[in-house]
């Protein structure tokens, strides 16, 4: 799962192979099922973005057009004057493009047919309509909430906030009826468990 700090340092053609993200065209979204009951869907939150693509790439141009339209600041990373959801129109953010949304629609339909629980992973926090768990980053601080649909949202702390020489990692244990996320940040160990019935995916 890629984020803005990754894209500040490496272009997609170098970054994706290093992360073993399967891609022939620079897109960084994919899905996998480590066990039959679960489907993990990894979204590319920087699909439409002014960072990470060559300046003349259609996805970068689309992002720049949106930023010009929605953010009046000369510094497009500045939220000055932006209110509410308008604060999302910043250069260090991104968006999921139309092609990726169509792919997601297909994946969710397939997961529904297979009666799978879906976990969405994206660097940028999402406002989803249908999933079990949303794992995100980007805010640098950890957070947890359950939305009005009953979806669990877990924001993981940023590894780059750790002092040099310390560890930051996490892993997920999957069971047919739950998942258990264990995150170790330096000396702290946190657990996050979700136990839910299967929810049908409607898109």
| Tens-place pLDDT, residues 188-202 | 545 444 443 333 333
Q: Where are the domains of the chain?
A: 4-47+96-164
What would the DSSP string read from start to end of 91-146?
TT--B--HHHHHHHHHHHHHHHHTT-EEEEE-SS----SS-SEEEE-SSSS-EEEE
User: The domain 4-47+96-164: what is its CATH number?
Assistant: 3.60.21.10
Give the per-residue pLDDT at 57: 95
Say which range, 40-49, 57-66, 73-82, 118-127, has the weakest mean pLDDT.
118-127
């Amino acid at each position: 799962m890629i984020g803005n700090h990754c894209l500040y340092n490496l272009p997609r053609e170098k970054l994706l192979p290093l992360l073993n993200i399967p891609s022939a065209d620079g897109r960084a979204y994919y899905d996998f099922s480590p066990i039959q009951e679960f489907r993990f869907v990894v979204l590319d939150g920087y699909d439409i973005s002014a960072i990470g693509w060559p300046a003349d790439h259609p996805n970068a141009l689309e992002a720049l057009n949106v930023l010009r339209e929605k953010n009046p600041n000369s510094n497009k990373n500045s939220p000055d004057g932006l209110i509410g959801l308008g604060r999302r129109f910043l250069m260090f953010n991104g968006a999921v493009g139309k092609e990726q949304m169509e792919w997601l629609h297909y994946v969710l339909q397939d997961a529904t047919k297979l009666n799978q629980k879906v976990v969405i992973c994206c660097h940028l926090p999402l406002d989803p309509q249908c999933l079990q768990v949303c794992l995100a980053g980007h805010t640098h601080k950890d957070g947890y909430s359950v939305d009005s649909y009953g979806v669990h949202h877990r924001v993981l702390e940023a590894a780059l906030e750790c002092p040099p020489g310390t560890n930051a990692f996490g892993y997920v244990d999957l069971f047919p009826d739950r998942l258990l996320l264990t995150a170790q940040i330096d000396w702290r160990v946190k657990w996050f468990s979700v136990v839910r019935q299967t929810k049908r995916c409607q898109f």
